[in-house]
């Protein structure tokens, strides 16, 4: 009897899954190289690229090697890079004063990249954690138990103007201080940089997934721990409605692009933000997301190529218009092939 059993169905979704051609015809979400942004780490005085131990396949690059990498990324169709400096610890202090040095590492890197690859969009981080001896994203109050919001914002606004003067296309405040987007927009406009955009880390959670990044820029070592708490300024991972408030505040203050960070564990938040604004939405597949995929693949527990693609597809499907990912270069090479 089982051999003759037949269901009387009008709708058989498997009809459109039978062949690769049918799959392609009805595919709802498509990844392109143009959807990707490559975060890159720059360091002084390293003769060869220096692999970050907790991020296999990701390197700290001197400025000459950074320029070569940017050329290669641009040829693959990736439209933008986000630059993060790792400073010599001797240059760090409590107030992060190196951030306001016209010859600080990231500004020299920006000028070199824009000269070599002017068509490539360059994004720079606006936060003090790479520059402070304590590893926080701002300056601390007198008892050193919290970050001073308004004093920090004043420094960030100056940083943004200096970065714009160096030639960046987008400044990206990642600090989560209140009011910083409005202050940066005002400072940029007053300095004549009305065309410099703001990619705001609007919805940045106090996540456990940032550990490898902190190693990469040296902020973990500055603090003496990978478990540095930023809970007084980054968002509580339990909160969803707060994400909408943060995004709407940044839109009102003049943000051009709204970012959600991390991405993979916050797909619901990406969708909420996407539904709440008509601004472009970015999502950051952070270092911990990258490293856990790499680690599981190296142990043979996951297929690297399939997991990499699926993780990025999910982020775009959730509503991200652009994705910062350490997989950008290799994914772009595959997608362009």
Q: What are phi and psi of 33, to 5 degrees?
A: -55, -35
Domains of the chain (ranges plus CATH)? 31-336 (3.20.20.70)
Beta partners for residue 172, in sequence order: 125
Strand-pairing partners, residue 282, are 259, 322
Token reading at 332: 């772009």
Average pLDDT, the chain: 95
Q: What is the pLDDT of residue 156?
A: 98
CA 30 to chain centre: 20
* Model pLDDT for residues 115-135, shown as the tens digit of each residue: 999 999 999 999 999 999 999
Report residue 45 as tokens.
């005085």
- The pLDDT > 70 percentage for the chain reads 97
Q: Which residues are catalytic?
A: 204, 261
Q: Measured between alpha carbons, how far is 330 from 192 in angstroms, rounded to an integer?
A: 37
Question: In the prediction, which pLDDT does 223 show?
Answer: 45
- Contact between 43 and 88 under an 8 Å Cβ cutoff? The reply is no
pLDDT at residue 222, rounded to an integer: 45
CA distance 334 to 321: 19
Task: Please state, as a whole number, how many other Cβ atoms lie within 10 Å of the Cβ of residue 57.
Answer: 12
Structure tokens at 265: 């564990």
Q: How confident is the model at residue 144 (pLDDT cuts 50, 70, 90)?
A: confident
User: pLDDT, tens digit, for every residue of 255-267?
Assistant: 999 999 999 999 9
Chain segment 94-118, per-residue pLDDT in tens:
999 999 999 999 999 999 999 999 9
**Model confidence pLDDT, tens digit, residues 274-286:** 999 999 999 999 9
Query: DSSP letters along 11-73, please?
Result: --GGGGGSSHHHHHHH------GGGEEEEEEEESS-SS-EE-TTSTT-EEE-HHHHHHHHHHH
**Residue 201: its H or E element:** strand 197-204
Q: Which residue stretches of the chain are H helix?
A: 20-26, 63-75, 105-116, 149-166, 180-190, 211-217, 219-223, 241-253, 267-276, 287-298, 304-318, 328-336
Average pLDDT over residues 217-221: 71
């Amino acid at each position: 009897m089982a051999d003759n059993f037949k269901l009387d169905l009008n709708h058989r979704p498997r009809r459109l899954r039978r062949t690769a051609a049918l799959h392609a015809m009805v595919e709802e979400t498509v990844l392109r190289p143009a959807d990707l942004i490559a975060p890159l780490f720059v360091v002084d005085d390293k003769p060869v690229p220096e692999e970050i131990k907790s991020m296999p396949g990701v390197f700290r690059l001197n400025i000459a090697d950074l320029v070569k990498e940017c050329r290669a990324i641009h040829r693959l169709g990736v439209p933008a890079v986000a630059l993060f400096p790792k400073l010599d610890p001797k240059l760090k202090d409590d107030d992060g004063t190196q951030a306001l040095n016209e010859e600080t590492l990231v500004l020299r890197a920006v000028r070199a990249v824009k000269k070599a690859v002017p068509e490539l969009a360059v994004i720079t981080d606006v936060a003090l954690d790479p520059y402070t001896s304590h590893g926080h994203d701002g300056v601390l109050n007198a008892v050193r138990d919290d970050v001073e919001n308004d004093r920090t914002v004043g420094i960030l606004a100056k940083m943004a103007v200096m970065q714009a003067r160096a030639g960046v296309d987008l400044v990206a405040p990642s600090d989560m201080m209140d009011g910083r987007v409005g202050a940066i927009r005002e400072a940029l406009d007053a300095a004549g940089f009305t065309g410099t955009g703001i990619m705001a880390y609007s919805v940045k959670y106090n996540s456990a997934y940032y550990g490898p990044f902190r190693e990469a820029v040296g902020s973990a070592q500055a603090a003496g721990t990978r478990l540095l708490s930023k809970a007084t300024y980054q968002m509580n991972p339990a909160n969803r409605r707060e994400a909408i408030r943060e995004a709407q505040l940044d839109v009102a203050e003049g943000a051009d692009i709204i970012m959600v960070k991390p991405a993979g564990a916050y797909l619901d938040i990406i969708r909420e933000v996407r539904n709440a604004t008509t601004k472009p939405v970015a999502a950051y597949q952070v270092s911990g997301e990258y490293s856990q995929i790499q680690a599981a693949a190296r142990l043979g527990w996951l297929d690297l190529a399939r997991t990499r693609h699926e993780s990025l597809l999910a982020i775009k499907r959730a509503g991200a218009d652009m994705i910062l990912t350490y997989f950008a270069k290799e994914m772009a090479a595959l997608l362009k092939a």
